[in-house]
Amino acid sequence: QFFSREMNIRAVERHDLETALRLALDRDEFLLHYQPQVDIATGRIVGVEALLRWQHPRKGIVFPSMFMDVAEETGLIDAIGLWVLRAACTQNRAWQDAGLPPLRMGVNISARQFDQPREFAKSVNRVLSSTGLDPAWLELEMTESVLWKTAEESIQVLRRLGKNGTRIAVDDFGTGYSSLSYLRAFPVDIIKVDQSFVSGLGKDPEDSAIVEAVVRMGQALRLQTVAEGVETAHHLIELRELDCDIAQGYHFARPAPADAVTPMLRAGRDWFKRA
Ligand code: C2E
Ligand code: MG
Ligand code: MG
């Protein structure tokens, strides 16, 4: 009697989703889409971000916002996250083996996956050695909520991964706890300016000011800055003006399956030159 009817329905739905996610793992229904990241100075693709999709047998493509909460609450994210890491590293290695210019591969990591940092690092190392991917081409994207818990153990683990060349990016920068001390404590290499600020570039003076402040801070701390959600040429012009390093967004390409991204990598074109 503590549950309202609505809550009960929600609980049932969650339970169904959990069952469906387990099945999805068994049936290999997950896949990755890749979104190019473009170097603003050269116009070349220098990396991609791996984004999880679920090819549902009836519903079609399901986005992470529909299932990530349940995956995290139930702990299924550990198995799913490992699958993502392996698939992303395998794909990156395959592109390199095909003779394409090497790319950084961004992989999103949830807080839960990093609960046991040592176990996490072991998985990363295992995946790197089994796929034969040089750690320098792997980038782990973590949100501020993962990094702000300044536990000594996690710092050590990230340092060690960093020594091997793997980079750490702070995802959705500016939307989390606004505690900047983790930038000092953790071996962070990259900050990704959240798309909610980028979308107001040139329109909303406050958003523009925030993007500028984040990019300047990144430069001062010698971190690379990536702008997320770059949707228009106008955004890009503003970002170039600010000397932001890398841009990612629909203006260049939507996330797409590897087959669709390969020709873009092969063309190796300068994104800013008119064809
Ligand atoms: P994120 O890591 O911040 O990823 C960026 C999101 O913005 C992606 O949504 C991407 O499709 C979308 N996006 C890219 N360019 C644009 C643009 O120009 N405009 C707009 N409006 N959106 C753009 P997506 O793929 O739905 O992923 C949502 C979130 O789900 C991700 O946010 C990430 O936090 C999480 N996620 C995705 N894949 C994974 C994964 O493999 N593991 C974990 N733990 N989380 C994941
Ligand atoms: Mg991300
Ligand atoms: Mg983000």
Which residue did the predictor score with more confidence, 181 or 126? 126
220 has a pLDDT exceeding 70: yes
- 192 CA distance to ligand 2 centroid (A)? 8
Mean pLDDT score of the chain, rounded to an integer?
93
Asked if residue 50 lies in contact with residue 31, where contact means CB atoms within 8 angstroms, the answer is no
Q: How many CB atoms lie within 10 A of CB 116?
A: 15
pLDDT of residue 178: 65
- The residue whose CA has the least distance to atom 10 of ligand 1 is 255
Q: Determine if ligand 1 sits within 6 Å of the CB of residue 88.
A: no
2 has a pLDDT exceeding 80: no
- 19 CA distance to ligand 1 centroid (A)? 24
Mutate to test the pocket of ligand 1, among 21, 35, 38, 51 (most ligand atoms within 8 A of CB): 51
* H helix or E strand, kind and range, residue 6: helix 5-26
Can you tell me the mean pLDDT for 6-29?
90
- The residue whose CA has the least distance to atom 8 of ligand 1 is 51
Signed CA dihedral, 88, 93, 98, 101: sign only: positive
Q: What is the pTM of this model?
A: 0.95
Mutate to test the pocket of ligand 1, among 120, 139, 228 (most ligand atoms within 8 A of CB): 228
Which residue did the predictor score with more confidence, 12 or 255? 255
pLDDT of residue 53: 98
**pLDDT-above-70 percentage for the chain:** 97
Closest CA to 211 of 40, 30, 83: 40
pLDDT of residue 1: 54
Q: Determine if ligand 1 sits within 6 Å of the CB of residue 36.
A: no
Whose atoms come closest to the Cα of 81: which ligand?
Answer: 1
pLDDT of residue 150: 67
- The residue whose CA has the least distance to atom 14 of ligand 1 is 249
Closest CA to 232 of 200, 193, 185, 264: 200
Can you tell me the mean pLDDT for 242-269?
95
- The residue whose CA has the least distance to atom 12 of ligand 1 is 229
**pLDDT-above-90 percentage for the chain:** 83
- The residue whose CA has the least distance to atom 7 of ligand 1 is 229
- CA dist., res. 86 & res. 90, Å (int): 6
User: If you search the block for the tokens 């986005």, which residue do you land on?
Assistant: 63
pLDDT of residue 87: 98
Ion ligand 2 — residues with CB < 5 Å: 108, 141, 171
pLDDT of residue 275: 47
- CA dist., res. 105 & res. 127, Å (int): 13
Q: Determine if ligand 1 sits within 6 Å of the CB of residue 66.
A: no
pLDDT tens digits along 106-121 = 999 999 999 999 999 9
- 7 CA distance to ligand 1 centroid (A)? 28
In angstroms, the Cα distances linking 124 to 64, 165, 229, 231 are 21, 12, 28, 32
Mutate to test the pocket of ligand 1, among 30, 108, 261 (most ligand atoms within 8 A of CB): 108
Can you tell me the mean pLDDT for 186-206?
94
Which band of pLDDT confidence, cut at 50, 70 and 90, is reported for residue 270?
A: confident
In angstroms, the Cα distances linking 85 to 33, 74, 96 are 13, 19, 17
Whose atoms come closest to the Cα of 35: which ligand?
Answer: 1
pLDDT tens digits along 29-77 = 999 999 999 999 999 999 999 999 999 999 999 999 999 999 999 999 9
pLDDT tens digits along 112-166 = 999 999 999 999 999 999 999 999 999 999 998 888 776 888 899 999 999 999 9
Q: Determine if ligand 1 sits within 6 Å of the CB of residue 224.
A: no
User: If you search the block for the tokens 């009817």, which residue do you land on?
Assistant: 5
Whose atoms come closest to the Cα of 249: which ligand?
Answer: 1
274 has a pLDDT exceeding 70: no
209 has a pLDDT exceeding 60: yes
